[in-house]
Amino acid sequence: MPLINMPDFAADILDEFAGRGTTRVDTPVIQPAEPFLDMAGEDLRRRIFLTENERGTSLCLRPEFTIPVCLRHIETATGTPKRYAYLGEVFRQRREGGNEFYQAGIEDLGDTAIARADARAIGDAWGVLSRLLPQRRLSVVLGDQAVFEAVVEALGLPAGWQKRLIHAFGNSEQIEQLLRKLASPNHVQGLDPVVANLVANGDEAALIAHIDTTMQATGYSTNASRSPVEIAARLKEKLALAETRLDGAALLLLREFLSLELPLSEASGALAGFADAAGLSLGPALSRFDERVAALADAGLDLTKITYRAAFGRPLDYYTGLVFEIAAEGSPAVLAGGGRFDRLLTLLGAESHIPAVGFSLWLDRIEAARASQ
């Protein structure tokens, strides 16, 4: 039995979902923990209620629906395109408003018309909220992780630094820390001088041999989780990252990009102007951005009411492109949030690539917004 009551407008949400060509699904409350721990992101990992079964397998209370819906789709070998809808309880530790709450949403799997599917996700979330909150003005903020990745790649940073920055996308504090490190590189402290010298000379064979000898002498090799080859590669990467410095002009460009915030109606022009002035080729990422803007306009959404924020992301690791959130104007509470997660189904075991986009509604926040109308 649920510990909290389902909001009285839940039937309205299900009516909206049914009218949008979705199939309602449910997933077990008890889920395998590994997919969430591996793919959901640090913020959600800290909030998961973990347990285990009698065989010692890690399990958790369902913290969100996207991963369970995708796993169900793979397990049932259902073809695509497929639009799933859900409504049910999720569980997260230390959440304001309680550890148990209701979420509803749509997961749109397999539509290869990427821009149209992105626009439909935003339009569906906006449409449902407009019905539930007819007297409240809504605001949308939109970001694009693929555009950020293209900017970082075009600046020519080492792969390790690109990975760090992309992983931090949407976390302004973490991004700022990384930019400060790029501005003032530091040498790795406490490194064995012999190891440091071997790395500096590029003598990989000697470095691996030295690590192997040290591991054998200390007895560490009997229970080490990584081989001397892997440790040597990690040391080289760590030193390269520590000593990498982004020149002043490139650092200013990255900060300039992250400061972009303007109506979506002006965003395509601003991004093209930024790329031209900076001499950066953003390639397909910019083309896909422009196609999405056009699809949103075709769907009848007012682009002047949507804000594009270049630094905006969401705290889930599986997003790959579009990310967005919707709130009621004058309130910081996010009522709906979603984005594109094109790599997730393959990571979960799908045999072929399945593009995907979706969104979730927070029913307790919507209930509070309805009460304040």
Any known ligand binding at 370?
A: no
Any known ligand binding at 319?
A: yes
Any known ligand binding at 314?
A: yes
Distance (Å, whole) CA 127 – CA 135: 13
C-alpha torsion sign, points 295, 297, 301, 305: positive
Give the pair of three-digit tokens for residue 92. 């997260």
CA distances from 98 to 53, 89, 90, 335 (A): 26, 12, 11, 16
Bridge partners (DSSP) listed for residue 111: none
CA distances from 331 to 139, 327, 369 (A): 10, 7, 9
- DSSP H/E element including 323: strand 322-328
- DSSP H/E element including 28: none
CA distances from 6 to 75, 87, 366 (A): 29, 10, 12
Cα torsion at 111, 116, 118, 121 (round to 10°)?
-90
Any known ligand binding at 102?
A: no
Any known ligand binding at 52?
A: no
Any known ligand binding at 76?
A: no
C-alpha torsion sign, points 268, 319, 125, 311: negative
Any known ligand binding at 365?
A: no
Q: Which residues are annotated as a binding site?
A: 64-66, 92, 103, 107, 314, 318-319
Q: Which residues are annotated as a binding site for L-histidine?
A: 64-66, 92, 103, 107, 314, 318-319
